[in-house]
Structure 1
Amino acid sequence: MKSFGRWLLWVALAGVALQLFFVARIALMLVVAPESTAFMRSEIWRIAEQRVEGRGTWQWSSEWVPYEKISPNLKRAVMASEDAGFTSHGGVDWDAIQAAWAKNEKRQAIAERAAARQAEREAKLAAKRADAKKSPNTSPSSVQATEKPVKVIGGSTITQQLAKNLLLSGERNLLRKGQELVLTLMLEALLSKERILEIYLNSVEWGNGIFGAEAAAQRYFKKSASQLSAREAARLAVMLPSPKFFETRQGSAYLTRRTNIINARMNDVRLP
């Protein structure tokens, strides 16, 4: 029992030490811009591995620009698209999380009904195949499975997304989610909303090997992040949930339609 108690003590001390390390890292961001994030480093490794294996070419673009050199249009567009309540919540938008859970439950129910219908069709096909063995002239048509994984909607705020990408790995488990919440509260306690948005806009992914507002503006519009128009900013904001997907689908009807919606909402957003 004593050895078990000592082991628990060491685990607790390690946990405290890790949190103090995170506090120090975040506090340093008050005056020093982070050179990279945990997600950026994992992407560098992935791209490098693909190049070594001959499955791709090296492409990487990331340039830090201060808050005042990022167009207010982009700030408003990203907030309108990702986190409209950014300036008013304390890091976690519980209403958004609850709404996301409700949507996910609805989608799951729809997926389960579709799976039940698919199972019924497969059962009928199996019965036809059994009859076909008795009657060789019968040629039942085949049924292809169409079940797709349910797309999960998140309710993460800008601060939560920054906490996840800045200091955590890509693993998904309860412990990591708990750590994300702690980091979110640390970011909100130690940094201003303006600084959080500045770091987020300079580190978020906008395509394969494209990180930050400046790199995205240059890649898609051949101009600086400070010169982005309202519509250009809205288009970049809409790409954020799936940047690699939309990077190769710039002519997407959804992208155009959603850009119009975000463009219309931007004036209602209050900047930090």
Structure 2
Amino acid sequence: MARIRTIKPEFFTSLTVADLTPEQRLTFIGLWTHCDDEGRAVDDARLIKAAVWPLDDRTAADVEADLAALTESSLITRYTLNRRPFLAVTGWREHQRINRPSPSRLPAPEQGEPTPTPPPTSTNDDSPPPHARLSEDSRPERNREQGKEQGTGNRDSSSELAARDADPAPQRDDVEQLCTHLADRVEANGSKRPTITKAWRTAARLMLDKDGRTTQQVHAAIDWCQDSDFWRSNVLSMPKLRDKYDTLRLQAARPAPGGNVVPINSGRPSTTDLRVAEGMSLAARLRAQEAAQ
């Protein structure tokens, strides 16, 4: 159960915290709300991932790498008792003031044995690295400083990322063109070029097949976002573009001072447009009838 905790301003100027990656820092903060009133929790990366990163594209292996970094920095203590793993936040009582705390049901660190740390990566070029035989479902442990795979230099795990992003649907040229166009615009706007994922392709297919958009209309929506204030406050992705499409269409249809407007949804009158046209036509007929009388 999540709990309300406090954070001190000194957290942001701590040299120990500064050595962590932003993800590791957020995992550390998330542990405060996940741990009980004595700063203890079951040491299971899957449970912590579900509690701290429920809506993000991170895996339990990523969270396990965060916990390893926090242990190395002495910010948490990992221990076992009766073969069950636990963890505790170091210096819990110094940082958290809890009104009427509930006694912990988990053992204290001094009651258990320290969790053994994994063996360090060998520096002998003739010996294979410890992670050389990972299974296909496993993800390499990440380095604290760079977020790189330990024992593999700067080489990223492209095969594993491709497997995770596997798209069973056949590739479509129109979908790929839309995704590439949006990625180009994001990069041209000064942001890091995004990866075209399965979620991007799915959103593009749904806009074309289910929502009834044309490729020209989606292209126009992307281009309008780049030239508007919308882009300054939103990091656009294909799923977000689909979710915000109607809002963007209405904004793009508003006349700009001294400029020409090309509506995103041109050629496809909406239900609202049809009702307005019908109302104006009815009003014109009524005025004609009054004039004839």
* Category of TM-score, reference length = shorter chain: under 0.3
Bigger relative CO (Cα 8 Å, ≥ 6 apart): 1
From the CA coordinates, give the structure whose radius of gyration is larger.
2
Greater percentage in strand:
2
TM-score by length of 2: 0.21
TM-score by length of 1: 0.22
Greater percentage in helix:
1
